[in-house]
Amino acid sequence: MNSSLSAWLMIAASVVAEVVGTVALKQSDGFSKLVPSGTAAACYALAIWLMAVAMRQLDMGITYAVWAASGTAATALVGIAFYGEQLGGIKALGLVCVVGGVVMLNLGGHR
């Protein structure tokens, strides 16, 4: 498999780990519940490790931008789908801006 493709797959897995960790963080009730707290910590550690490994092949700026934007958008969508959070007006515009910013960074090219 192409090393660049492998790196992007690691970023995708890292985003999934981050989102799962964030959901576990919400479930931890301020770190008062052991299993969700441990899950959050483990998922965040996995997310950072995967991103660090991916950065061996990818530029730091674009890697972090894609990771942060994807995680933000995915977490917002999980909140809407499973926690009754609302997506309207300014929140929707914010998500569009986050995704648009990453697209603009990608247009600049990377190695």
pTM assigned to the model: 0.86
| Residue ranges making up the domain that contains 90 | 3-107
Query: How buried is 100 (Cβ within 10 angstroms: 0-12 exposed, 13-18 middle, 19+ buried)?
Result: exposed
Phi and psi at residue 59, to the nearest 5°: -65, 140
- Tell me which H or E stretch contains 104: helix 89-107
pLDDT digits (tens, 9 = 90+) for 92-101: 888 888 888 8
pLDDT digits (tens, 9 = 90+) for 31-47: 999 999 999 999 999 99
Query: How buried is 109 (Cβ within 10 angstroms: 0-12 exposed, 13-18 middle, 19+ buried)?
Result: exposed
Q: What's the number of domains the chain is made of? A: 1
